Amino acid sequence: MKPVQGKTSTQLRYLASILLWPALFFGGLASTGLAFATSTPVLWFNVVYVSVAAIIAVFERIMPYEPTWLTADGETFNNLGHTLLTKGVVQIAAAFGASFPMLVAVFAQPFFGSQPHIWPQHWSMLSQVVLGLVIAEFGLYSAHRLAHERLELWRFHALHHSVSRLWVLNTGRFHVVDSLLKVMLSQLPLYLLGAPLQVFLWVGATTAFAGLLTHCNVEMRTGPLDWIFSTPRLHRWHHSKVLAEGNSNYGENIVLWDHVFGTYFNPDRPSSTDIGITGKVSRSLLGQLVQPFSRSGVRQILGRKPGVD
Ligand SMILES: [Zn+2]
Ligand SMILES: [Zn+2]
């Protein structure tokens, strides 16, 4: 009986590796639709988000892509801290952003004509969200690529790349400054074009689920999905220590702009598990937050001076 059971479990694992990404991504979005239809959409969206994260965490134990990444690295508290801090600050920024269309109306209209709202509101919501994603992704792509190519921005983004293992809790490990730049560049064009609130909510939800999945340590066979979406396979290349591999796949939800600008990278071999940076980041949450602001901190991040803290 044993060999049969072994064969069955191998087949189940294979099937799961194909189905998990679409099931969790589109299942998460479908559940978000139900959440948005309730009287407390934010609460129910958070329930869906935490549930998808919990399911991913379970599958990381059952079928990890890299088993050694299951070992704790002492960064769990910091990962959670950055996640909560970034979410809080971004929420406040979004509240300010809500008044942005009014500012545009007052200051920009005299220069750009009477009607800045050129958003195609008559399109179906699905088409509007896809359009919103393509536009927002251009901002995400630009912010992410600049964060890798400009030293004054890499000092903040290095925190995200400083981990030596990938798992679901790395999703929110971003320096606040890094996150704000991304939010600004991705949402500003949507504000300027007059996109409705629903488009912002759906683009935000898509980014949330895509982010959880790109960082997960689960064996997934995403095949043709790699051509459209930012999958775990593509994002592992992006985290590679080898610069020629890492300076690629900047897309956060879709990889359209990587295709357009020639930064798409997906060779026919298992994606990298040798991830991290050559420099060092501080070990404490507060230290990680202030490090990019001091000269010596930046030298440590860039690996120009040994030791830290
Ligand atoms: Zn990056
Ligand atoms: Zn990442």
Interval 228-247: pLDDT, tens: 999 999 999 999 999 889 99
Ligand 1 centre and the CA of 67: distance in Å? 23
Q: How far is the CA of 264 from the centre of ligand 1 (A)?
A: 13
Nearest to 252 by CA among 195, 182, 194: 182
pLDDT in tens, 178-224: 999 998 899 889 988 989 989 999 999 999 999 999 999 999 999 99
Look up the pTM and report it. Answer: 0.88
Domain assignment present for 284? no
What is the 147 CA–ligand 1 centroid distance (Å)?
Answer: 7
Residue 200 belongs to a domain:
yes
Ligand nearest 247 Cα, by number? 1
What is the per-residue pLDDT for 308?
Answer: 46
Ligand 2 geometric centre to CA of 133 (Å): 19
pLDDT at position 104: 52
Ligand located closest to 171 CA? 2
**Cα–Cα distance measured from residue 226 to residue 237, given in angstroms and rounded to the nearest whole number:** 12
pLDDT at 192: 87
**291 CA to centre of ligand 2 in angstroms:** 20
Q: How far is the CA of 85 from the centre of ligand 1 (A)?
A: 19
pLDDT at position 86, please?
Answer: 83
Instruction: Determine the distance separating the centroid of ligand 2 and the alpha carbon of 161, expressed in angstroms.
Output: 7
Strand partners, 229: 254
**Ligand 1 mean position to 253 CA, how many Å?**
13
Domain count, the chain: 1
Beta-ladder partners of 254: 229
Closest CA to 144 of 154, 134, 152: 154
C-alpha distances in Å from residue 226, one per residue of 119, 161, 230, 243, 249: 29, 21, 7, 21, 10
- Nearest-angstrom CA–CA distance, 297 and 291: 5
Closest CA to 209 of 17, 26, 19: 26
- DSSP code of 272? P
Give the domain range for residue 101: 2-277
197-214 vs 176-193: helix axis angle to the nearest 10?
140
Helix (H, G, I), strand (E, B) or coil at 254: strand
Q: Which residues of the chain have pLDDT under 50?
A: 1, 307-309
